[in-house]
Amino acid sequence: MLTPTLAVARTPLVAVYGTLKRGLGNHHWLEGADFLGNDRLAGVTLYDLGPFPGAKLEPSRGVEVEVFRVDARLLAGLDRLEDYRPRQPRLGLYDRTPHPTAFGHAWLYLYNPDVSGHAAIREGGWWP
Q: Which residues are catalytic?
A: 82
Which among 87, 106, 116 has a CA at the least distance from the CA of 12? 106
Burial call 35-69: b when 16+ CB within 10 Å, e when fewer? ebebbbbeebbbbbeeebbbbbeeebeebbbbbbb
